[in-house]
Amino acid sequence: MEHKQEISEDERLKREYYDLVGDWNLPIVRMGGLSATAQLLEMCAVDEQSKVLEVGCGVGYTTCEIGMKFGAHVVGIDISEKMIANANKRAKDLGVQDLVEFRVEDVANLPFEDESFDVVIMESLLNILGEQSVIERALLEIYRVTKRGARVGANEVFVDESAPSEVRARLHELLMGELGPGANLARYSDEQFKQMFADTGLPVVKIMKNQAAGTRSQLVNDLIKVMGFMGFMRYSIRATKDLLINSELRKATMKAAPAQRIMERNKDTRDFFGYVLIVAEKLI
């Protein structure tokens, strides 16, 4: 008999949300957009010889980029079947099926041999996992499948250690709307992420902190670049319709609108958070 794993209400809501985002075929669900991805890949020194793993790959935009830009072999995994269905379609449409492989998997149980990859990357994965113990478990798996001396790169949302609790509360609401409900996002500072990597045996060798200001309009520009204007309009209409129908997800995501104004446009608060690019190296 198949054993179904029990999941919490928060986890259920989060997965439902990512299935919807997967259905919308939304290619950039992170801060920093396309330029952050280009920067992260450069910091990780990806090249043609690299065997790359992307964890939490969503609909596979970055995974396919790695195949196309570097000619590298790359595996993208995500827990959402809908994300992976559209990722496979993207690889086929772009003609990179020979270099790119997608699988539905949980980062907590990666189905790969120890020391399989030269580079492991993730964009907005750790910060949506929530509890520190869950992040630690994910990092241990990532550590296991990374080759010795190889690089692990992440783009994660951070909140400044000095952020007042009022700002943290609003940030939590904003990020739930932007990156999915069900996760407590306004939790970790860049220093805390750095420590979590180091504690797993992945000392950080490069770190680049970026504030949030301006990232929202940049995201819309990047989405139009990848999806085309008509594609972006189709997605906007479909997302609005789906969220009107799903009242539970609508309530969670609509909270973002007022919080967004406060966090991204208000000079007093917007400098307290942003995205951090982290590159660590597995000890030899």
Ligand X SMILES: C[S@@+](CC[C@H](N)C(=O)[O-])C[C@H]1O[C@@H](n2cnc3c(N)ncnc32)[C@H](O)[C@@H]1O
In the stretch 82-121, what mask flags binding to ligand X with x, by CB under 6 A? -x----------------------xxx-------------
Q: Is 58 in the site for ligand X (CB under 6 A)?
A: yes
The yes or no reply on residue 125 touching ligand X (CB under 6 A) is yes
- ∠ CA 267-279-159, nearest 5°, is 25
Query: Which is closer to ligand X, CB of 72 or CB of 79?
Result: 79
Residue 173 — left, alpha, or beta (φ > 0 → left; ψ -120 to 50 → alpha)?
alpha
CA–CA dist 64, 71 (Å, integer): 10
Q: Which of 13, 20, 29, 243 binds ligand X (CB under 6 A)?
A: 29
Among 50, 86, 124, 269, binds ligand X (CB under 6 A): 124
Classify residue 2 by its DSSP letter. P
CB of 27 to ligand X, least distance (A): 6
Q: What is the CA radius of gyration of the chain?
A: 18
3-state secondary structure of 53: strand
Is 123 among the residues that bind ligand X (CB under 6 A)? yes
Is 32 among the residues that bind ligand X (CB under 6 A)? no
Least spacing, CB of residue 162 vs ligand X, in Å: 25
**Count of residues that bind ligand X according to CB under 6 A:** 20
Strands across the sheet containing 73-78: 100-104, 73-78, 51-55, 117-123, 146-159, 273-281, 204-211
Q: Report if residue 187 touches ligand X, rule: CB under 6 A.
A: no
Number of H helices, E strands in the chain: 13, 7
28 or 64, CB closer to ligand X? Answer: 28
Q: Which residues bind ligand X (CB under 6 A)?
A: 18, 28-30, 56-58, 77-80, 83, 106-108, 123-125, 128, 179
